[in-house]
Structure 1
Amino acid sequence: MSPLFAALPPGDLPTHAYVAPTGVHATAPLAVLPATRETTHTVTAGDTVYDIAARYDVSPRALVRANSLPDGGRWIMPGARLRIPVGGDTDVAPAASAPAPSSGSEKGGSASSGGASSGGTVTVRGGDTLTDIAARHGVSVADIARANDLQDTRLIYPGQELRLGGAAAEADRSRPEPLDRPYDETTIGDHRAGEAVPDTFLHYRYGDGIARSAAANRDYLAGTEVPSRAAVRELIVRTSERHGVDPTLMLALSYQESGWNHRAVSPANAIGAMQVIPSSGQWASGLVGRELNLLDPEDNVTAGVVIMRTLLRSADTTDEAIGGYYQGLASVRQHGLFADTRQYVRNITYFQTTL
């Protein structure tokens, strides 16, 4: 899985690589090909361990173990051949319901447009993939594909009714009311206090308040309409051009960070297509002279673009600026580019010429 890194202001950064990974990433899933005998897969541009695992109906963990991938499979390169284990288990956990926001205008939605409806069905929303739906409802991609006789999991469309299959679906859930800012440690309250929420990736672990805030933002975005990946791509181009930043750079960066998926929220509470944490969102708000809401797709992209613009102006080289988005510019200046940062920069450079 490609890591998703929070954008951090250059003057307010930790001195180590600040990793903000999430399991939601990458391109539209391919047809499910359950492995009945051991086979291999050749990595193509944009592949992640999660995508490949979903395609062959095995768990990412099993795929990492079968190939002894370092760093949990963070870095897989085009052309690499991966062994697909037979009978790998799935390990997707269901998402919990979003907390009730303390304020916001009433704008409800039916269960058919948000979560599962009674009877174990779900209505596809704009931006959904089967991987997203399976993760939200605690079933596997293969369960949904089999229940609906889908030959190619890319061919789903907004408004389509899908049977969830597999385990019992989640209870009905209404679309949450709009929020004007993301949850953070100061506003999370006791939401999911005492529950086990994702708080680690590899050797990085985040505090309880950060992890619960991330869970709340993830739950919120799972229940709201978001633009498709194609629409996010167009938004990145327009915003980059408006702020004088190379659109190919921002497209590559967002693709590496989230796969152009605005529902992505990492355990470090890095939010949306540009994977910006709330404190960096406040910094970006100061740069543009208005409050940016990272839960809003346009504001999220704006935050990432103006942060990158500032890094480009502050850093000595473009590679240093890109590395600063990943590692933090203060850390880059103090320690140089870490090994994983250099790989991150190579990925961005590669995607600039291939997307």
Structure 2
Amino acid sequence: MAFKAELFREKMKACGVSQKQLAEKTPFDVRSISRWANGHQVPKLASILKLAEALGCSPRDFDPDFADSMEGVIVSGRVSAASHNAYAAMKLVFNVSQTQILELAPILFATVAARALQIPGDDDAFFAVHECEARNRGIRIERTGHPDESDGLNLDREAANNHKCFGLEPENGSSAISRNLFWEALRRMVGQADDRVSIDMWQQDWPGHVPDADGFNPHVPLLDLVAEGDPEIIRRLVRGEVRLSTSIDKAEIANKGALGQLAELIRKDLAEQAAAHRAMLEAQRRASQARLDQWRQGYELENPEWAQEYEDLAAALCHPAGWYPAHYSDKKIEEARANPFAEARFIDRARYPGRFALFGHEPEPVYPCTKGGVERFKELQAHRAASKSAFEGGSQ
């Protein structure tokens, strides 16, 4: 270990923290901190961790050899708010720390990833058995009803052969229906978990995507208890829009008793957090709408023909206002709705010439649009975006 008193003093000075203030933030008294700062004594490893946490820095800032002096190696990183809620839930239910969960993380990931790579082969074997049984009974069955599904299965097999545990996204122009194998493995495992965990709100199943914890319910009975079955609070917990750890701290679970006795305190705080979040989004929406109305007034005066052309093309080419892609999470949709100034509009790809909606074997034509119209719409979008940037720059 190579604790450097002078580096410790420099870090305290840089943070603007006195010895007395540091003592108030840590379990240590001023005398101990003074001895460490003056080099009269070397703090223990656990003490170095607490000092670094209080100063918001790495222990290596005043102990360059810190990582090498411990049995383990320090791992740091940021996780989503949803993941942070999952850590808090696991601590309550299983009495495990974040460090213990992190220690197991590579084991759990490798297990799920290995299971994911087995899925295409397992599915092929399952179908082969049932196809053989059906054939013996004189029944003809087909695994896929459309070429896109067959192409997707080939992509899944390719992903498994190349250790792409999150699956392969179809190339541009391809409509193959492939899968996120990691998500599929989790879905099957969750189905065997006796309703204790849930991915019902985990909308991250598109191939090639590395999922996070947004939408994952780590312990259904616990969240039902603390939210008293309120679906909005549960949704905000699994989306990371409210903080379970904050509510737990306020309820002082560790000092006052069992979770069941304090659930009402936690529910009240979660409801207050949810209400505050809704109010914040509504305030953002009103401010954004006011900016949009003010900008439109000037833009339509300066570019009346372009403004009308944009509206006409949006009506002809796009999904209705307020429509969002299926891969948008509830959280992302909320944030988009709180920002009308962005004018999020999405082109309806089904309206391209030569595209058909298939029902059985009979093609049903859908509303066509020209490639030139789409390109013109994108030009108008870019022009409006540049005008908005100039507007916001001038209003600051």
Please, what TM-score do these two structures have when normalized by structure 1?
0.24
Q: Larger C-alpha radius of gyration, 1 or 2?
A: 2
Larger helix share, 1 or 2: 2
